[in-house]
Structure 1
């Protein structure tokens, strides 16, 4: 019996060593390190692969593409494959373009727009500035990297997600995120090929191609 228990005990001990919860002061210090690193290059581009598990569907939905972010609130997300789309925001206006259907949706941001919380959730891993005001945060060290768990504070975010998990490598680059939603859906996103080189301003601008059907679903 002892021989059978020893391997299990070894595995549990190794797991606890590889994953150690950080004290609140250490979490704060980690966030400060992340912000200091990002302050020198407040922009990021990366490739991503995403898998969304929907509770009403038998198979997960997979997608891939490229994301660009410029602090504090500009981003572009291009999804390739059979259902391509481009989502672009300059911080004031959000565009979602569907090239296969030659259609685009336009939304105004700010002024308590119902989309603000959604964008905050979408860019949470890329923009951790003042993240404590929107989330309760715990963290642990896993191997030579870190895992952060964000739980929303305000009602608007709670309607979108229950937890948001972020995995970072030793260089504080985001490797993986997992968003768990109140209805049981969850979205796992893996990032690769991160670059913090300057991004052309035009990346965050969008003009619908000629012939595009433009709608404003929220009426503004």
Structure 2
């Protein structure tokens, strides 16, 4: 009987050690193994000046290492494409605008929070954020706290949550208390 108890304690200790060993390098390695893909999203924005949250939905696609497309379908169509250092906006009325995000530190930080997380690029994330990871490989949460004063003036933190190799939720908490939450559901199949 004593041997069984000792064995159970040792196995429990090994299990805890395995979970404790999960770190940011492990998470980034797991995320980097993703070959891109498509997902549906629902974005909910909570703004102090509005009576109720604003919700939009659509589809996203990511092609590593640096192309991210977000196509909003509801309540009105628009498209945002991030390709390298350029982000393009296209409205349903055909108006287009392109920005070089590398020339704007606050825009670059927002871009890297998503793109570098999806690509598993720790070095790019650490150029803009202090990283804190909690959870297990199966269900994790990565908190990104901005480093640059120009970014902290706009953004308190970003929390990215996921399951395994997939990002499932991104929450932006702005310095003024406004919040945006992006829920992501992978699309499987052809």
Higher relative contact order (CA 8 A, sep 6+): 1
Cα RMSD (Å) of the superposition?
2.9
Normalised by the size of structure 2, how large is the TM-score? 0.75
Report the equivalent of 2:8.
none
Secondary structure of 1:41's aligned partner: coil
Measured at CA, do residues 182 and 191 of structure 1 come closer, stay the same or move farther in structure 2, by a change above 3 Å?
Answer: same
Are 2:38 and 1:45 aligned? yes
CA distance in 2, matches of 1:36, 1:194: 22
Measured at CA, do residues 153 and 88 of structure 1 come closer, stay the same or move farther in structure 2, by a change above 3 Å?
Answer: same
Q: How many residues align?
A: 170
Secondary structure of 2:112's aligned partner: helix
**What CA deviation, in whole Å up to 9, does each residue of 1:77-97 have, x standing for no partner?**
100113211011221432101
Secondary structure of 1:118's aligned partner: helix
Measured at CA, do residues 125 and 143 of structure 1 come closer, stay the same or move farther in structure 2, by a change above 3 Å?
Answer: closer
Q: Is the 8 A contact 1:41 1:196 kept in 2?
A: no
Secondary structure of 1:162's aligned partner: strand
CA distance in 1, matches of 2:26, 2:189: 16
Report the equivalent of 1:160.
154
Report the equivalent of 2:4.
none
Normalised by the size of structure 1, how large is the TM-score? 0.66
CA distance in 2, matches of 1:38, 1:147: 13
Question: What is the aligned counterpart of 1:116 among 108, 115, 132?
Answer: 108
Runs of 4+ in 1 over 4 A off after TM superposition: 194-197
Structure 2 spans left out of the alignment, 5+ residues: 1-15
Are 2:182 and 1:193 aligned? no
Question: What is the aligned counterpart of 1:137 among 131, 142, 145?
Answer: 131
Higher helix share: 2
Cα displacement (A) at 1:30:
2.8
Structure 1 spans left out of the alignment, 5+ residues: 1-19, 198-220
